[in-house]
Structure 1
Amino acid sequence: MREQIHTESFVSSRFADILIIGGGLSGTMLATQLLRLPVQRTILIIEPRAELGRGEAYSAVELGHTLNGNAARMSVDPDNPDDLTQWLTEHIASGGWPQSAEQNVPVCELFPPRGMFGVYVQQRLTEARAVGARHGSTVEHVQAEVVDLQMHADSVRLTLNDGQNLQGAFAVIATGMFPAARTPQTRSSGLNAAALDPWDVTAMRQLDPQSSVLIIGSGLTMVDAVVSLEQAGHRGPIEVFSRHGLLPHVRRQPPSWADFLGDDPSIRTPRQLLHEVRRHCRDAIAQGVDWQAPLDTVRVHIPRLWSQATDVQRRQFVRHVRPWWESHHHRSPPLSAELVERLHKEGRLRIQAASFKGLEPGAEDGVAIRIRRRGEAETCVIHGAALINSSGIEYDWRRVARPLPQQLLGRGLVQPGPLALGIAAAIDGAVLNENGQVANRLFAMGPPLRGMWWESTAVTDVALQAKALAARLVGTSEN
C-alpha cells in the first residue's frame, strides 16, 4: 500500500479551520454556507483566478453567453428558490441590465448573462462575510493553484504552485468542471492547442468573416461557440460534427406535471425510467401539454436513481440513453437556440453525425480534421479556416493533466468514481482512497462527484451539497 498518512508537522504552514480547493461556484457557495453558520471559523479559498464565484462557467464577459436555465431555476440559496429572481429584480431596477427588456418576459423567466450570475454569487458571498464577521468567522482568497495534498493525522497540508504551504483541519475539493476545450488532457492536448476557445470572441474577430469554421461537439458549448462567432461578425459556413448529431432542445417554461416517480417508487432501472418518461411525454402531448413538463419532474430523482443503479445499468444508461438525456434535459437558452435554428435554416450551419478521428498535419491556411461519418466505414478529411473544440466537460480525472488530479490519483489518495466519472466518495462527500477507506478530513463536492450522483453540476445540486457539507464540517469539528 502506498504511503498516505504523514505525521511530521510543518511549522511554516499557514493554518485555517477549512481549506477550500477551488473558488468557482462550488467553493464560493460552500464558503457562503459556512459563514452563515453561528460558529467561528477561519476559511481559506485557494483559487488561481483573480475573482471568486466565477470559475469556468461564469467568467464569460459577453452578454450573449447566458445561463441555460431561467432565473427561477438558478437560485444559490437552497432555502429560497426565488433568491436569484429577487436579486435580478433589484439589479434591473438599478439599471444593471437594460437589455433585459428585449426578452419581454417576467423576471423569473429571464436567462441572465453568465457574467452577471457571477456578480450575484459574489454579492451573496459578500453578504455572508458580514454575517460571519459577527461571530468571528473569516474567509480569505489565496490566489494560487493547489498542486499537491498530503494527509496528516490531525490536518491536511496543501502545496501551492507559488511555494506556499497551507494546513487545515479539513480540506474540500471543489475544483468544479474541467472543460475539454480549455483543459490540457493526456490524450488530446494537440486538439486543444490547435482549436479556438469557444468563448474567445476577440480571437474569432481575427478570422476572415466568410471563412469556414469547424466545430467538434454539438452540445451547449457548441451553442456558445456559435453565439461567439455571431458576435465576432462571422458570416461564413459552420460545420458541426458530433457522434450522434443531436442538438440541445430549447428550454421552455412548461406547466406543472404530476411527480410520477415520487408516486411510484417501484421505478428503479434505466429501462423502467425510459419507459415511464416516454409514456408520460406521450400523454402530455396528447393533452396539448409541453413534453418538457413531465421530463422536468425527473430531475429531482436522478441522484437517487443513479446511486441505487448497478454499474451495468449505469453503463447501459451512458451508452444508450445519455446522448438523448443530454439533448432533452440540458437545454439551450431561447435566444441562443433561435440563433442556431436561424443559421441552420439559412444553410450556414450544418450538423453532421460523425466521429472525430484526429487532426491532419500540414494543413495550410487553416486546419484539417479526419472524421468518420455515421454509417460509413471510411474516414475523410475536412478543411476549415479554424477549429473549435466544443466537446464539453472532461469528467475522467485520469485524462486531466492538472497537477492536483494527477497527484491525488497517482498516490492513491483518491480513486476514480463510478464509470471513471470524477472521484469516489461516501454519501456525505468524504473521499475514498484507492483501498476504499473513507477520509475523515478530506471531502469533495460539485462536479468531482459526477460519478456518485450523475447530475452534480447544476446550481441547485451544488447549493444543496454546499449546505449539507457546511453543516457536516461544522458538526464534525464540534464533536
Structure 2
Amino acid sequence: MIAESLTHPPVITADVLIIGGGLSGALLAWQLLRRGGARMIVVFEPRAELGRGEAYSTEEPDHTLNANAARMSIDPDAPDDLTHWLTEHLAAGGWPQGAAQRQPIELLFPPRGLFGRYVQERLGQAMAEAPGISVRHVRAEAEDAWPVPGGICVQAGTQRWQAPIAVLATGVFPAARTPRRGSPATAALALDPWDVGRMARLPVEAPVAIVGTGLTMIDGLLSLRRAGHQGPVQVFSRHGLLPQPRRQPPAWPDFLCLDSSLRTPLQLSRALRRQCRLAVSQGVDWQAPLDTVRAHVARLWHQASEGQRRQFVRHLRPWWESHHHRSPPQGAAWLAQLLSEGRLTLEAACLIASEPAPEGLELTVRPRGREQAEPRRFAALIDSSGIEYDWRRVERPLPRQLLARGLVRPGPLGLGIDADPSGAVIGATGQVSDRLLAMGPPLRGLWWESTSVTDVAAQARALALHIAQLGFNAPKVGKTGVSQ
C-alpha cells in the first residue's frame, strides 16, 4: 500500500467524467446541468475552451456552417434557439457581416467560430443557473480508462479521476492525422486546411494539391483565398465527386412516412430518385425530397442488415456524402468561380505516397482506371481526406488503450465503437457496460449519421436523461479537492 501511494497520485472523485470537450462533451454537460442531480461534472479537453473542438475553433469568417441558422439549434426542444441567440447578438452589434446580408436571420449561415461562441454562452448560462453543480474543465488529454469497483477511473496527464459514469464524447479523429499505408509522410508534409498563416507563406502562384473533396476541401479553398493564393489547385479524390451546393428548398411531403415498405438502401435510392425527378418536373428543387430523408436515417440504418449496410457503404456512400453534406453558399460560389476560371481541376485518383522535393513535394497518385501510378510535383499539399472512424487506425492513446483492454470493440463495419441504443458501450466479450457510455461520432456504426449538430444535440439530451436515471453514487475514496 505504501509503494502504491508513492507510485500513483491520489484519486480525485466526481459524479460524471466526460472525455472530450468539443461540441459533444459541451452539449452533454449542458444537458446534465439543466437536469441537475450531479454534484461535479468533469470534462477532459486539452483545448483552452469548451464547446469548440476542431470544427468550431476556426476564427476565419469564411468558414461557415454548412446549414442555415434555423437548422442548427443545439436545443432539440427549441429549434429556433440559435436564431434567437443570433438576433440578440446582431442587435448588440456583433457579426456586422451578417447584418449586411439583409436576409432573415434564420436563413443566415454563421461562421463556425461564432457558432462555437453560441455553444459556450449557452453552457455558461446553464452553469450560472445551477450553482449547486460544478463543471471542471481539466486541460489534459484523457489517455487511459479502466473499471474500478463502482465506477470508472480515467488517467489524464498526472491526474487520476474516478466516477460512477464516464462518457466517451471524443468527437472526430481527422483522417489527415492518421498515417496512411504506403505514405507515412503525408500527415507531416500536409498543410492544415485552416492554417491561413502557413498558406500565406507560399508563393502567390504556387501550384497546390488537395486530397479529398468533402467540406474540409471547401475550407481549404477559402483559406487559400484568405491567404492571397492565386495559383492553380489540383484536387484528387477516389470518386471525383464534389459536394453539392446547399440551397433552401420548400417543404416536401415526407414520402418515407407514407411508405413503410422502403427498407433497403437500394429501395431507398430508387424511391429517392423518383421523388427528385417528380420535384424537378414540378419546378421544385431536387434537394427538397432529399431533405426529408434526414429524419429517418437512424431508423433505416439501425434496421438494415449487415449486408445491406455494407452495400450502402460500398456503392452509395460517396453519392450520399456529396449530396447530403452540402457546401454552404459562400464556399460553393467560390468553388464554382475557381472551376469556371480553370484554376481548379478535379481528378479521380488515389494518393499512394508523398515525399519531400525541391521547392515542395512530390505526390505519387494512381488515376482511376489505370494500373500505373504517376508522380506529380506541387508546392504544397492540403489533406482534407475527412474523418477516420475506425478506432483501430487512430493513433491516439485513449482509443488504443480502450481497445487493448477490451473495454470497447469496433462498431458495425468497423465504424466507431459498438454500443447499445442507449449509448452503453459494448466490450470485446459482448458485455454491455453500465459505467462507460458513448455519444456522437464514436457511434457512427450504430446510427450512421452521428456527427451533425442536430444528431449530437439529440443524443446529448437522451444520454443526459439516461444518466439521470442511473443516478450518481460517486465512490468516496482518495482526494476530494480539485486540481487543474
| Interval of TM-score (by shorter of Structure 1 and Structure 2) | over 0.9
2:468 maps to 474
Once the two structures are superposed, residues 411-435 of structure 1 have per-residue CA deviations (whole angstroms, 9 ceiling, x without a partner) of: 2110000111100001000000001
Q: Residues 124 and 430 of structure 1: is their aligned pair in 2 closer, same or farther, counting only changes over 3 Å?
A: same
Once the two structures are superposed, residues 197-236 of structure 1 have per-residue CA deviations (whole angstroms, 9 ceiling, x without a partner) of: 0000000000001010001011101000000000000000
1:274 aligns with 2:272: no
Alpha-carbon contact 1:186-1:400 (below 8 Å) kept: no
Matches within 5 A, 1:22-421: 22-133=20-131, 136-160=132-156, 162-181=157-176, 183-185=177-179, 187=181, 189-359=184-354, 361=355, 363-421=357-415
Q: Residues 46 and 478 of structure 1: is their aligned pair in 2 closer, same or farther, counting only changes over 3 Å?
A: closer
Letter paired with 2:368: R
SS of 1:246 mapped into structure 2 = coil
SS of 1:471 mapped into structure 2 = helix
**How far off its partner does 1:153 sit?**
2.6
Alpha-carbon contact 1:424-1:451 (below 8 Å) kept: yes
Q: Residues 173 and 96 of structure 1: is their aligned pair in 2 closer, same or farther, counting only changes over 3 Å?
A: same
**How far off its partner does 1:356 sit?**
1.2
Alpha-carbon contact 1:216-1:241 (below 8 Å) kept: yes
Once the two structures are superposed, residues 344-390 of structure 1 have per-residue CA deviations (whole angstroms, 9 ceiling, x without a partner) of: 1000011111111111x352110111111122222111110001101
Alpha-carbon contact 2:194-2:219 (below 8 Å) kept: yes
1:16 maps to 14
Residues in 2 aligned to 1:262 and 1:153: alpha-carbon distance in whole angstroms: 46
Q: Report the aligned-residue RMSD.
A: 1.3
1:457 maps to 451
Residues in 1 aligned to 2:215 and 2:436: alpha-carbon distance in whole angstroms: 32
Residues in 2 aligned to 1:64 and 1:390: alpha-carbon distance in whole angstroms: 17
SS of 1:203 mapped into structure 2 = helix
**How far off its partner does 1:180 sit?**
1.9
**How far off its partner does 1:11 sit?**
8.5
1:5 maps to none
Residues in 2 aligned to 1:238 and 1:102: alpha-carbon distance in whole angstroms: 31
Letter paired with 1:332: S
- State the TM-score, normalizing by the size of structure 1: 0.95
Alpha-carbon contact 2:212-2:384 (below 8 Å) kept: yes
Once the two structures are superposed, residues 258-280 of structure 1 have per-residue CA deviations (whole angstroms, 9 ceiling, x without a partner) of: 11111211111001100110010
Once the two structures are superposed, residues 34-89 of structure 1 have per-residue CA deviations (whole angstroms, 9 ceiling, x without a partner) of: 00014243100010001000001100110011111110111000100000011011
**How far off its partner does 1:100 sit?**
1.0
SS of 1:298 mapped into structure 2 = helix
Alpha-carbon contact 1:37-1:132 (below 8 Å) kept: no
SS of 2:15 mapped into structure 1 = strand
Alpha-carbon contact 1:186-1:399 (below 8 Å) kept: no
Letter paired with 1:127: Q
Residues in 2 aligned to 1:102 and 1:363: alpha-carbon distance in whole angstroms: 45
SS of 1:457 mapped into structure 2 = coil
Residues in 2 aligned to 1:163 and 1:196: alpha-carbon distance in whole angstroms: 32
**How far off its partner does 1:123 sit?**
0.4
- State the TM-score, normalizing by the size of structure 2: 0.94
SS of 1:45 mapped into structure 2 = strand
Q: Residues 362 and 145 of structure 1: is their aligned pair in 2 closer, same or farther, counting only changes over 3 Å?
A: closer
**How far off its partner does 1:179 sit?**
1.3
Letter paired with 2:139: Q
Structure 2: state its 5+ residue gaps. 1-7, 474-484
**How far off its partner does 1:478 sit?**
6.3
Residues in 2 aligned to 1:311 and 1:79: alpha-carbon distance in whole angstroms: 33
Letter paired with 2:337: R
Q: Residues 328 and 115 of structure 1: is their aligned pair in 2 closer, same or farther, counting only changes over 3 Å?
A: same
Aligned length: 465
SS of 2:349 mapped into structure 1 = strand
SS of 1:20 mapped into structure 2 = strand
Residues in 2 aligned to 1:147 and 1:104: alpha-carbon distance in whole angstroms: 47
**How far off its partner does 1:190 sit?**
1.9
Q: Residues 16 and 122 of structure 1: is their aligned pair in 2 closer, same or farther, counting only changes over 3 Å?
A: same
